[in-house]
Homo-oligomer: A and B are copies of this chain.
């Protein structure tokens, strides 16, 4: 059995009771894949804070140090924000360039992407702004001809070639240098924020490789998004910068405050939504979120957003890629299609991703590229697609989706589509969209779980947006041709357009995103920040809530929780209620036929006996009791601390031998004259272990573990030590209650 170690206030009580003893180096640190003890970490930090405050008055230097310490929090989040914003900008630009490279090159300047290349070419009209002599497709370059089947095949081939090489490069870089860089990373970040330690997951290597491979993966045209990984990238920045400040590098709990702020900054740059980012960090990823962190997260998110905007990767001086403005209100009867979209989103969200064996990346990339090329909606990069689907049909829209009769006969009357009869162009677009929808759904399901940096945000939004736009156009045409039908009569007068298909696309996108992640407030706020109008919040909420309920009906957990469970991380979800009526005594170890609980007595053991117990058991800590008879609890000692303390004593103190007495009490026990020097271990004894009675309902125990972030808790009956409950025991118990395999919890 492995009962997690740690213990409340060890360091603090140490400070109080053993001022003479200097702290033993190494005591109070953690091994990899172990859970931190929040209470102890927070005590350590308060301790540090007290030290600094007491020293503050002594000298100007100490005062400066205290100031630096007080400001380091703001400093680290600022740095994190700056770095995340900059990285996001670079990623956007490079990915954009690589993506265009699949189609051609800019002769005038290699490093320009298609848009920049044709920007200042004088013969560019707005309509055909993406045609200019400087930009050569591969066919024009190699075969010297722009049209004809030959050039088409050549472009087709080059497109696939580049896509494959990008994908190959990405996957091999990940495999060789940083296996942690694959996936979106959000589930792991949730686990880390909940107090788990995964060394190197937020390290500089992961950061470097993830940034590079993310660009490649996005450019390769695989059905994945960069938004999720951006959160991971931001958290890496936060983690790396936190090493500049001992306040954060030396304290796991404080470090996690920085990470919370970092994840807010990540979402902020991913969607250009600072407030949404903060709420995402609060609602979705964070575990311990004090108000100070809220404020700093907000700051980090803002800094990141502003850096990104000043880099201005999208050319429109906006924070967000999909900035939209709608000119018509929504009508009550539209709630019905919106809710339908919500249902669709919920169904999409309840898809069991990652169930299928992870296929070879190259195959997926090849299929994606080959199938994607012929269809314009799958060829262009997904963000562009979403943008096009979101935008309302204005007079300047050259998109095929907007070929309404009004545009055709060149009327520039605004609002566009006032004669909202669709032309064959729209119908063919609908067909292509439907194909794109099927394609995206299949490819996304197979792409998820590939060993490359991949997020589900953008693909989900794309799927939702496509579905939404299709529904939107359908409703629009319905309203146009049956404007005298009772539903439309009071809303839509003839000729005027009363339906905004772009809005449907946005609602669909939100619904799918909500279905996958089960986000609620943060999602609505993010989309609200995209559109910047309160008008459309009601449709959004209707859709998002529907999708959440439908999704929950098919399985309560979102993609992240599912992922966490699949990987068996020891994550105690604060969202799901513990609804069973079991008592502590039914969960605690030892059970019926387990070996009895390994305990230490406070003053009548020899060093040999102690080492014997340590070597024979595998648990991370031992309760210390008065005597075997009374079973009265004195405290709790960590395995790791004990071993360190013994070695330390062996090195530093003479006369410590196997038969010397080990004692945890304040004063040494009275010993026979000839006995060797005793070993005092009180300094590593946690004299305030958490205890519950055996009658405590598990729901309360779970509550305590969640809210205080415990690793273990001792169980007593009428003051007698009975057993122990660790975080792992609780998770195992919950798994049993949910009829899952209790052994699926690997770590801790």
Contact flag A302-B688 (CB < 8 Å), given A703-B708, A707-B707, A719-B719: no
Segment with Cβ contacts to B, from A203-211, A588-596, A603-611, A630-638: A630-638
Please state if B700 and A302 are interface contacts (CB–CB under 8 Å).
no
What's the nearest-Cβ distance from chain B to residue A297, in Å?
9
1/0 per residue, CB under 8 A from B, across A257-275: the answer is 0000000000000000011
Q: How far is the CA of A541 from the CA of B306 in the complex (A)?
A: 14
Q: Which one, B13, B299, B688, B695, contacts A687 given CB within 8 A?
A: B695
Q: Give every chain B residue within 8 A of A633 (Cβ-Cβ).
A: 718-719
What's the nearest-Cβ distance from chain B to residue A507, in Å?
16
Q: How far is the CA of A716 from the CA of B635 in the complex (A)?
A: 12
Q: Which one, B278, B291, B687, contacts A575 given CB within 8 A?
A: B291
What's the nearest-Cβ distance from chain B to residue A295, in Å?
5
A691 within 8 A of B: yes
A418 within 8 A of B: no
Please state if B9 and A632 are interface contacts (CB–CB under 8 Å).
no
> How many monomers of this chain does the complex have?
2
A105 within 8 A of B: no
A283 within 8 A of B: yes
Contact flag A16-B581 (CB < 8 Å), given A521-B294, A689-B693, A719-B630: yes
Please state if A295 and B49 are interface contacts (CB–CB under 8 Å).
no
Q: Give every chain B residue within 8 A of A107 (Cβ-Cβ).
A: none
Q: Which one, B306, B319, B575, B700, contacts A9 given CB within 8 A?
A: B700
Residue of B nearest to A525 (CB): B275
A305 within 8 A of B: yes
Residues in A681-715 with C-beta less than 8 Å from chain B: 687-689, 691-693, 695-697, 699-700, 703-704, 707-708
Contact flag A688-B699 (CB < 8 Å), given A12-B581, A319-B534, A538-B306: no
Please state if B718 and A632 are interface contacts (CB–CB under 8 Å).
yes
Contact flag A294-B283 (CB < 8 Å), given A634-B718, A688-B692: yes
Q: Which one, B538, B696, B719, contacts A716 given CB within 8 A?
A: B719
Residues in A343-383 with C-beta less than 8 Å from chain B: none
A50 within 8 A of B: yes
Q: Which one, B39, B274, B634, B691, contacts A700 given CB within 8 A?
A: B39
Q: How far is the CA of A209 from the CA of B719 in the complex (A)?
A: 54
What's the nearest-Cβ distance from chain B to residue A318, in Å?
10
- Chain A facing B: main interface SS: helix
Residue of B nearest to A276 (CB): B275
Residue of B nearest to A303 (CB): B538
A421 within 8 A of B: no
1/0 per residue, CB under 8 A from B, across A670-689: the answer is 00000000000000000111
1/0 per residue, CB under 8 A from B, across A470-505: the answer is 000000000000000000000000000000000000
Q: How far is the CA of A710 from the CA of B445 in the complex (A)?
A: 47
Residue of B nearest to A533 (CB): B532
Residue of B nearest to A626 (CB): B718
What's the nearest-Cβ distance from chain B to residue A154, in Å?
45
Residue of B nearest to A294 (CB): B521
A42 within 8 A of B: yes
A56 within 8 A of B: no
Q: Give every chain B residue within 8 A of A574 (Cβ-Cβ).
A: 291
What's the nearest-Cβ distance from chain B to residue A458, in Å?
22
Residue of B nearest to A687 (CB): B695
Residue of B nearest to A13 (CB): B695
1/0 per residue, CB under 8 A from B, across A538-562: the answer is 1001000000000000000000000
Q: How far is the CA of A631 from the CA of B632 in the complex (A)?
A: 12
Q: How far is the CA of A583 from the CA of B14 in the complex (A)?
A: 12
Q: How far is the CA of A275 from the CA of B541 in the complex (A)?
A: 14
What's the nearest-Cβ distance from chain B to residue A602, in Å?
9
Residue of B nearest to A8 (CB): B700
Q: Give every chain B residue within 8 A of A538 (Cβ-Cβ).
A: 302, 306
Please state if B691 and A691 are interface contacts (CB–CB under 8 Å).
yes
Q: Give every chain B residue within 8 A of A619 (Cβ-Cβ).
A: none
1/0 per residue, CB under 8 A from B, across A15-28: the answer is 11100000000000
Q: Give every chain B residue within 8 A of A42 (Cβ-Cβ).
A: 699, 703
Please state if B718 and A581 are interface contacts (CB–CB under 8 Å).
no
Residues in A281-330 with C-beta less than 8 Å from chain B: 282-283, 291, 294-295, 298-299, 302, 305-306, 319
Please state if A283 and B291 are interface contacts (CB–CB under 8 Å).
yes
Q: How far is the CA of A319 from the CA of B283 in the complex (A)?
A: 26
A524 within 8 A of B: yes
Q: How far is the CA of A720 from the CA of B633 in the complex (A)?
A: 9
A579 within 8 A of B: yes
Given contacts A15-B581, A719-B721, 19 further A-B contacts (CB under 8 A): A8-B697, A9-B696, A12-B697, A16-B583, A39-B700, A39-B703, A46-B577, A49-B579, A275-B275, A294-B521, A298-B520, A298-B521, A306-B538, A626-B718, A630-B719, A687-B695, A691-B691, A704-B708, A719-B719
Task: List 5 A–B pairs whose Cβ atoms lie within 8 Å, in order of A's numbering.
Answer: A8-B696, A39-B700, A43-B699, A632-B719, A703-B708
**Which residues of chain A have a CB within 8 Å of any CB of chain B?**
8-9, 12-13, 15-17, 39, 42-43, 46, 49-50, 53, 274-275, 278, 282-283, 291, 294-295, 298-299, 302, 305-306, 319, 520-521, 524-525, 528, 532, 534, 537-538, 541, 574-575, 577, 579, 581, 583-584, 626, 630-635, 687-689, 691-693, 695-697, 699-700, 703-704, 707-708, 716, 718-721
